[in-house]
Structure 1
Amino acid sequence: MSTLQDIASKAGCSTATVSRVLNRSGPVSEGMVRRVRKAASDLGYRRTERPAPMIRRRSAIGVLIPSITNPVFAASLLGIQNRMRVSGIGVLIAQSDYDPAREAEAIEYLLSEKPTGLILTVCNPLKSELSLPFAMPPTVLLNNLPTPRFPAAVTTDNRLAGQEITEYLIEHGHRRILFVSGHFDASDRAKLRYDGHCEAMAAAGLPVLDALQIPFVTGHDELDLAEPLKRQRPTAIIASNDLLALGVIGAVRREGLSVPGDMSVVGFDGIAIGRLIDPPLTTVEMPDTSMGATAASLLLDIAENAATPRHLMIGYKLHAGGTVRRLG
């Protein structure tokens, strides 16, 4: 078999020139190109094609969140991405818009990318897991309580948080408290907060008002509270998250009422914008960034070290802003 050296000798040039001609990898005169190609043809040279190098696919995990625009989940994503970056692992993101049907589609997409693991915030884990395939990579629930199928979870105590924020309002003299939330079938976190609220009201011997459930992702700027304010006559409103609490404050003001002069309002999450309004929002501050980082570390421990899946609970803090008035 002819070699580059044989062609170089016959063409009267260097092997480097032969290589440049045959690989079209550098400047060579037209005359030399013809000489090298003729020499290669005369010698019966056949170029051996090297197989293309295999591209090593970067490891990645899949993350499902209800909404990319909610600062709560953006903070959790930040914690997840920062932790995975240290380990050289990519992050694939999908959102469900608090819709169980879209949730199933989003998880199907993540699984199609063959992730090394999943971090999921779902509407209701006991219902959501019924639509998932039998074979799943290591999975950690974030913000959802663990289930027999998915025992690995990172949460905070939403029920107790709902109880404590209600007790805070009761201590400030409020007896009729309206709970405004997204639909409970779209968020078990909101349902747990409402359950805690109901327990605190019952323990104090106070009436429990029916929760007002609205869509999570649309219409906060157009929220109309005229009818429930007239019918239920609350002195305070608990919103199931801070974004909704801001919408409640806007709706209360459109009714000609002031916060907290005429109506007290509280929320959950502790997002930054709540501290920027006047007066600052009273809220239960959740550890969203640290929860994301903790979920990422737990997933890596399970996937890489075969650690036992476990439930980790992180604390919250009640932040007293200026949107609650003391009555009496």
Structure 2
Amino acid sequence: MADLASVAKRAGVSRATAARAFSSPELVRDQTREKVMAAARELRFRPNTVARQLRAQATRMIGVMVPSLDNPVFAEQLQAMEVAARERGYSLLVTTSEYDPARESDIVESMLRQRVDGLVLTVADAEQSPLLASLRRESTPCLLVYNPAGTSGFPSVGVDNRAASEAATRHLIDLGHTRIGMVAGPLLQSDRARQRFEGYCQAMQSARLTPCALVEMPRHTRAELAPLEGQLKSQQPLTALIATNDLLAISLIGELTRAGFKVPGDVSIMGFDGIALGKCLYPSLCTIEQPRAEIGREAVNALLALLEGEQHAPPLLAYTLRDGESVAPPVSSSAPCPTQRGSHHA
């Protein structure tokens, strides 16, 4: 394999000049720099940027942990982050926790050993996270994405989950729904879902309606009808359901349709996230749309501000309610959903 000395010899310059052509090209004359680059291409030489970065005590890498790449929300965030980071001379080191709080510490420890310059994390529960408690003792800058900042001590980029969920619930109430439920994945694995449930409860109580018990599914993005059967087939069945993410809402529409329910004729379905796939379905998904690309860009900008020593507190970003065919006024109006034993409260 060719080395820097071989490149210098081929270009007819000193080894120091060849090294400078890669590390500080603006300090080398154009003609000399082009000779070095041409020699490098001929010999298929690539400089060891990792070694140079380690000598400089900076890798120009950002460690990013998201729960999953199955959900387009995180994929779209990462795409925007990669573009924004590349424009600033940084690259991403991406890992997934699979919604497992026990994996988070191991993942971040691995990234710290690779000397990432900063961390952008989405954890299960920001306020109860042993990982974040340990990171407060580290010097590596850290930023949360989607997690509410709460008392974690770390800045966060995202939307107001409670307010957004209130808006989604009020939209259904304004359409005439009074028996509205909410479906989520395992609640202990998502502080975002808990805040969205609190927002739902607040909207229901403000309208003098009784919130129904949260229905937890075994997985975050896969719905099952069994936990909902009692509420869908009672004398006063639910007429609307809010899912805490779009993939769960889409799965719910599929399960309901296969079971003979009409969406939105029998049950209106509301999502949360605003992924593009929801527009392509029939019925198209009504949802709360988060500014996923803006979240990704703001995460990079906020972290780089921290790296430069600025005390940066990102503002909450704006969400929008994207209308869709999956919601409609109820066929008939009846009394509110009765309080259920074991229901959660905001």
Give the TM-score category using the shorter length.
0.7 to 0.9
Q: Cα deviations across residues 69-101 of structure 1 (Å, max 9, x unaligned)? A: 110000111111111101121111111111111
Query: How far is the alpha carbon of 1:247 from its aligned partner?
Result: 1.0
Change over 3 Å in CA distance of 1:217–1:105 after alignment to 2: farther
Structure 2 equivalent of residue 235 of structure 1: 239
Identity of aligned residues (%): 39
Change over 3 Å in CA distance of 1:299–1:133 after alignment to 2: closer
Structure 2 equivalent of residue 62 of structure 1: 63
Change over 3 Å in CA distance of 1:259–1:300 after alignment to 2: same
Instruction: Confirm or deny that 1:199 pairs with 2:195.
Output: no
Instruction: Confirm or deny that 1:181 pairs with 2:177.
Output: no
Change over 3 Å in CA distance of 1:170–1:147 after alignment to 2: closer
Unaligned 5+ runs, structure 2: 1-8, 10-46, 54-58, 333-346
Change over 3 Å in CA distance of 1:278–1:303 after alignment to 2: same
Q: Cα deviations across residues 13-62 of structure 1 (Å, max 9, x unaligned)? A: xxx9xxxxxxxxxxxxxxxxxxxxxxxxxxxxxxxxxxx98931342010
After the TM superposition, which residues 239-318 of structure 1 pair with which residues of structure 2 at under 5 Å, given as runs? Answer: 239-304=243-308, 306-318=309-321
Conservation of the 8 A alpha-carbon contact between 2:222 and 2:252: no
Query: How far is the alpha carbon of 1:122 from its aligned partner?
Result: 0.8
Structure 2 equivalent of residue 168 of structure 1: 171
Structure 1 equivalent of residue 101 of structure 2: 100
In structure 2, how many angstroms separate the alpha carbons of the residues matched to 1:105 and 1:284? Answer: 33
Say which SS state the counterpart of residue 219 (structure 2) adopts: coil
In structure 1, how many angstroms separate the alpha carbons of the residues matched to 2:242 and 2:150? Answer: 28
In structure 2, how many angstroms separate the alpha carbons of the residues matched to 1:133 and 1:281? Answer: 40
In structure 1, how many angstroms separate the alpha carbons of the residues matched to 2:221 and 2:271? Answer: 17
Mean Cα displacement is larger for which, 137-146 or 147-156? 147-156
Query: How far is the alpha carbon of 1:110 from its aligned partner?
Result: 1.5
Conservation of the 8 A alpha-carbon contact between 2:221 and 2:245: no
Conservation of the 8 A alpha-carbon contact between 1:139 and 1:150: no
Change over 3 Å in CA distance of 1:264–1:292 after alignment to 2: same
In structure 1, how many angstroms separate the alpha carbons of the residues matched to 2:86 and 2:150? Answer: 29
In structure 2, how many angstroms separate the alpha carbons of the residues matched to 1:104 and 1:53? Answer: 30
Change over 3 Å in CA distance of 1:219–1:313 after alignment to 2: closer
Conservation of the 8 A alpha-carbon contact between 2:161 and 2:196: yes
In structure 2, how many angstroms separate the alpha carbons of the residues matched to 1:211 and 1:148? Answer: 25
Change over 3 Å in CA distance of 1:214–1:136 after alignment to 2: farther
Instruction: Confirm or deny that 1:137 pairs with 2:140.
Output: yes
In structure 2, how many angstroms separate the alpha carbons of the residues matched to 1:303 and 1:269? Answer: 29
Say which SS state the counterpart of residue 79 (structure 2) adopts: helix
The alignment's C-alpha RMSD in Å is 2.1
Q: Provide TM-score, normalisation by structure 1.
A: 0.79
Conservation of the 8 A alpha-carbon contact between 2:126 and 2:152: no
In structure 2, how many angstroms separate the alpha carbons of the residues matched to 1:90 and 1:150? Answer: 25
Q: Which has the larger radius of gyration?
A: 1
Query: How far is the alpha carbon of 1:113 from its aligned partner?
Result: 1.1
Q: Provide TM-score, normalisation by structure 2.
A: 0.75
In structure 2, how many angstroms separate the alpha carbons of the residues matched to 1:255 and 1:148? Answer: 43
